[in-house]
Amino acid sequence: MRGRKVYLDSSAILKRYLNEEYSEIVVDIFKSAYRGEVKLTFSFWNIGEVLGIFDKRLRRSTLDPEEYQFLKTAFLAEVKRFTRLGVLEIVPVHSLLLADAWKLVEKYHIYQADALQIVSAKRVNASEFYTADKRLHSAALNEGLNSKLLGGE
């Protein structure tokens, strides 16, 4: 695998499947992965978070049932396909990573899930880290990651 290793948090992954501001950046990253130019990485945690956001939008009626099913199926199929192609590395969630994340929770006053993103990206030596979360972006920069902010709140 040549090229760079790109870590995506849930807010970045969602931009692949929902038409939002900065979606084109994430779409281009996914195209680069299909060409074997980048290796995508994210945490096993992110799979559940992404599915949870799709479900939340279904419950709030910002997605209809057909859109929900389409997005869910597309996301899971792409995870499977990218894993088979060797262009996606999924970081497992385990006790040592969670314990490392606790330090960041206290240091930056961020959520455990956000801290897990940082320690997971560091674990795989990600060359780039993408998020739409300003606080996570700031903490990631402070932790030495090459963080890119996709808009964000």
pLDDT attached to residue 93 = 96
pLDDT attached to residue 121 = 98
Angle between helices 134-142 and 95-108 (to 10 degrees): 100
pLDDT attached to residue 2 = 59
Asked if 127 contacts 4 with a C-beta cutoff of 8 angstroms, the reply is: yes
Name the phi and psi angles at 23, rounded to 5: -60, -35
- Cα distances (angstroms) measured from residue 87 to each of 36, 47, 143: 7, 16, 25
Domain 4-149 has CATH 3.40.50.1010: yes
Q: Running along the chain, 153 residues long, what does each successive block of 10 average in pLDDT?
A: 86 95 96 95 98 97 97 98 96 95 97 97 98 97 98 70
Asked if 38 contacts 72 with a C-beta cutoff of 8 angstroms, the reply is: no
Name the phi and psi angles at 82, rounded to 5: -65, -35
β-partners of residue 43 are 91
- Whether the model clears a pTM of 0.85, i.e. scores above it, the answer is yes
pLDDT attached to residue 151 = 84
Asked if 91 contacts 41 with a C-beta cutoff of 8 angstroms, the reply is: yes
121: its two tokens: 């990206």
